[in-house]
Amino acid sequence: MIVTVIDDDRCPVANALIRLEGVGVAPFQGPSGVYTFEKIPRGTYQLKILKSGFKGVKKSIVIDDESLSLSITLRPSAHVLEEVVVRNATINDQKRQEQLNLEIVTDEFIQKHLGGSLMQSLERLPGVKTIGIGSGQSKPLIRGLGFNRVVVIDKGVKHEGQQWGADHGLEIDQFDVEEAEILKGAASFAYGSDAIAGAVNLRPPGLPGPESFGGDVNLIGKTNNGLYGTSVHLYGRTHKWFATGRVSFQDYGDYRVPADSLFVYDFPVQLYQRHLRNTAGRELSLHASSGYITDRLRAVFYVDDVFTQSGFFANAHGLEPRRVDAALHDRSSRDILMPYQQVNHFKIVNRARAVFGNHAVETEAGYQHNRRKEYNHYVNHGYMPPVYPDTLAIPMNLERLFDKTVYSLRIKDLVRIGNHDLQFGINGDLQNNIIGGWSFVVPSFNQRSIGAFIYDKVYVNHRAILHGALRYDHSFVHIKSYKDWFPSPVETGGIAAPDFVLRAARTNRYFNSVTGAVGINYNLKQVELKANIGKSFRVPLAKELAANGVNYHYFSYEKGNANLDPEQSYQVDAGVVWTHDKWHAEVSPFFNYFPNYIYLNPTANHDYLYGAGNQVFEYAQSRVLRYGGELRLKYRITETLGSELLGEYLYAEQLSGSKKGFGLPFSPPPSLLLNLLYEPVHTAPFKRTYISVDLRLTAAQNNIVPPERKTDRYTVMHIQAGTRFRMQNQEAWLSLQLQNVWNTRYMIHTSFYRLIGLPEQGRNLVVSLKLPFNFPNKKKTI
């Protein structure tokens, strides 16, 4: 049997301790990272790999062939230095055993490519894009689908924010993410409603090793928006009990663009010192976890709170050009004036796992509370009174408030029968949504859903794995009625009389969905193949069912449709991975069809009453075809020099309805990323030093749909560099990034501010330093 041990960067790891239970230890090997065991009888063995500086690996392997060859990737021991963490499978094995295309990144990747927010840090991955809102907020887009078509799982529980709005970011602290898994493809069979384009699974941080006590401090600075921040992390564990804590804080000013003046529509805006007025923000996150671990039982509590406050570009709120008090705004680039948003997301999660016999039962229980407030000066539009009435209970500057409470529970049993890995389980959640503020977009609503699934993974032989999954979901949505707080002239029989217009009627809807997937993995020595066909679904949002009001940001009158069906999606995914010598290539094409994609359709009409003279946008369903894929090509030029090419392409077309022949909104144009990486070997006392250059070439996006604008092509360059060195007997990481090296003025098609033509951030130097510390209190044994 041959075991190849490599690290995250696919470099061989020499001198690891490899023990096969009942057989012995493989002799230490040279720099090739290849270890061999001779003449092992067939059977199941425990394989243990230890190497200082990396997390330990323990896994069960089945030897049915003398020439079995295994590749194991060791992960650097991020915060648990030199302590052993047991992981069930390594990243490579996970990718080989997953029928959907999977990208896994670690905190090391995030540190290297640190962006303004988690999703902006992950944007480098092919097929992953973001809807960015200024410099510190973003939401995920997988292959051009976002909002409620991507599920974000945080610590095992579906993250429930206000993901339906383009200006709503994802309330996740990126310093608390140790490992993120991006699943591309029809993932409803695993995650239920909304996982149409895929899922972003933020795994809970690894558990501290037994008898450990330590932590780390992260310091961050950015020149473009004057960001400074820190994240402090502490952990400790006795043999069976552990606790961790983290505090992250960031404060940033208005971000700068390579432009002195802009046009919002035709309205000219002069920028002061190239700052985008009022895009400053701050973020404070608190995390704690504690739990009990034994071989057979594990129970962990996580408590998280993420608070953000950030301004919107003052010269335009949404899409509306505004006159601003420039002197007031330009006094400081760090203050947050109106309009601004304030979001708090609180979460308690309990995860438990018990193993008995060949069963493993897992439960995840969660409570989430998301409270979002948007503040703005009162400006009357349409039939709103010209002066804000002082009799109104709503605070005068509170434009909108959304308050969401979610309780969720998932129970799952994993059982191994012969060569079957069988999973089945149930899940349910309860949601209560309340609105406030003087502007109406979405009514209050309650939602309940329950689901059951079964998933079988069959190890046909050491090469082939078959997957089959089936799932049933039932949801109930109760929409509450809403009436305007101001009268509008309602015409009855030719006579107009003032009346409080009913914006949303009380509605109940029930939805049932059956989804499923069938997939295969076929893994050869140099080639890995995968294919999957699956059906996903999405329960319509309350906004899609019941919106009935003016969105004053977009000069649109949005009309929901209470008769919408649950959105369904059929998708075929494939993946080919080829590794040979210094080459590594991955291609992942997909083909996707929606019989009833839900779409906000801008019509040719204006509505004078409900719409206050604005253009009517109606929710409609149409047939949609999408296809595309990603490409990754890696070539190791020399021992110290590597190159990489990442590409992505997406095509979307509406096949029916009034926008037949058009694409879909927020479709990223094709893009290509060329990378050159230099990793010098002899740099003592510095270790793992790298300099990396990314050149991103993005094509123009001309395949647009109302109310989008065509976006020009652009080329930007980013440089990353970093190293590690000993400090106080601990290994410190220093990472530097120079983003947008040439200070290029460009626009990203999927950015929230694209519609009003705001350029992206100019040149930005990002410096981050991570200082781990630990206090070993016992000698560890192997």
Partner 1 sequence: MIYKKKLKMLLITASVGVFFAGCSKRDTALADTGYPDIDVTSEQAFPKQCSQFSRGAKAVVKAVVSDNVELGSVSFDIHHNFDHHTHSTEVNDCGLDPKKTPVNPMLLIKSMPIPPGSKTYVAVQEIEIPSAIDPGDYHFLIRVTDKEGWQTLKGLSIKIR
Q: Which residues bind partner 1 (CB under 8 A)?
A: 265-268, 320-323, 377, 379-383, 386-387, 555, 601-608, 611-615, 631, 633, 635, 637-638, 643, 645, 647, 649, 651, 658-659, 661-663, 669-670, 672, 674, 697, 699, 702-707, 710
Q: How far is the CB of 505 from partner 1 (least distance, A)?
A: 23
**Residue 266: strand, helix, or coil:** coil
Q: How far is the CB of 691 from partner 1 (least distance, A)?
A: 17
DSSP designation for 147: G
Select 249 or 714, whichever has its Cβ closest to partner 1.
Answer: 714
- Total count of residues recorded for the chain: 782
Task: Check if the beta carbon of residue 212 is closer than 8 Å to that of residue 774.
Answer: yes
Q: How far is the CB of 330 from partner 1 (least distance, A)?
A: 17
Q: How far is the CB of 123 from partner 1 (least distance, A)?
A: 18
Q: How far apart are CA 571 and CA 593, in angstroms?
A: 6
Q: Give the Cα-Cα-Cα angle 198, 199, 202 (nearest 5 degrees).
A: 160
Structure tokens at 118: 């988690």
Structure tokens at 338: 């109106």
Sign for the pseudo-dihedral over CA of 677, 678, 679, 685 = negative
Q: How far is the CB of 606 from partner 1 (least distance, A)?
A: 4
Q: First-to-last CA distance in the chain?
A: 23
Q: How far is the CB of 418 from partner 1 (least distance, A)?
A: 44
Residue 297: CB atoms within 10 Å: 13
User: Please, which residues have CB within 8 angstroms of residue 393's CB and are 6 or more apart in sequence?
Assistant: none
Task: Check if the beta carbon of residue 377 is closer than 8 Å to that of residue 325.
Answer: no
Q: How far is the CB of 699 from partner 1 (least distance, A)?
A: 5
Residue type, position 721, single letter: A
Q: How far is the CB of 613 from partner 1 (least distance, A)?
A: 4
Q: How far is the CB of 284 from partner 1 (least distance, A)?
A: 32
DSSP state string for 422-479: EEEEEEEEEEEEEEESSS-SS--EEEEEEEEEEEEEEE-SSSEEEEEEEEEEEEEEEE
Q: How far is the CB of 502 from partner 1 (least distance, A)?
A: 19
Q: How far is the CB of 636 from partner 1 (least distance, A)?
A: 10
Select 190 or 650, whichever has its Cβ closest to partner 1.
Answer: 650
Sign for the pseudo-dihedral over CA of 40, 46, 51, 57 = positive
Q: How far is the CB of 663 from partner 1 (least distance, A)?
A: 8
Select 555 or 666, whichever has its Cβ closest to partner 1.
Answer: 555
Q: How far apart are CA 92 and CA 77, in angstroms?
A: 17
Nearest of 218, 142, 137 to residue 176 by alpha carbon? 218
Select 130 or 601, whichever has its Cβ closest to partner 1.
Answer: 601
Structure tokens at 270: 């002069």
CA distance readout (Å), 393 to 64, 398, 402, 438, 542: 73, 11, 16, 10, 25
Q: How far apart are CA 150 and CA 159, in angstroms?
A: 11
Q: How far is the CB of 555 from partner 1 (least distance, A)?
A: 6
Select 27 or 661, whichever has its Cβ closest to partner 1.
Answer: 661
Select 84 or 677, whichever has its Cβ closest to partner 1.
Answer: 677
Longest dimension (CA), the chain: 96
Structure tokens at 162: 């206000």
Q: How far is the CB of 702 from partner 1 (least distance, A)?
A: 5
Select 457 or 584, whichever has its Cβ closest to partner 1.
Answer: 584
Q: How far is the CB of 315 from partner 1 (least distance, A)?
A: 10
Q: How far apart are CA 747 and CA 64, in angstroms?
A: 55
| Beta bridge partners of residue 142, listed in sequence order | 128, 145
Helices (H), 126-255: 188-191
Q: How far is the CB of 645 from partner 1 (least distance, A)?
A: 5
Select 243 or 609, whichever has its Cβ closest to partner 1.
Answer: 609
Helices (H), 290-417: 326-330
Structure tokens at 130: 């973001």
CA distance readout (Å), 388 to 377, 379, 438: 10, 9, 10
Select 561 or 743, whichever has its Cβ closest to partner 1.
Answer: 561
Q: Is the bond preceding 707 in cis, omega lying within 30 degrees of 0?
A: yes
Select 320 or 499, whichever has its Cβ closest to partner 1.
Answer: 320
Q: How far apart are CA 57 and CA 49, in angstroms?
A: 5
Select 302 or 662, whichever has its Cβ closest to partner 1.
Answer: 662
Task: Check if the beta carbon of residue 310 is closer than 8 Å to that of residue 284.
Answer: no
DSSP designation for 701: B
Select 60 or 702, whichever has its Cβ closest to partner 1.
Answer: 702
Cβ burial of 27 (10 Å; 0-12, 13-18, 19+) is exposed
Select 70 or 631, whichever has its Cβ closest to partner 1.
Answer: 631
Q: How far apart are CA 495 and CA 759, in angstroms?
A: 49
Q: How far apart are CA 546 and CA 20, in angstroms?
A: 61
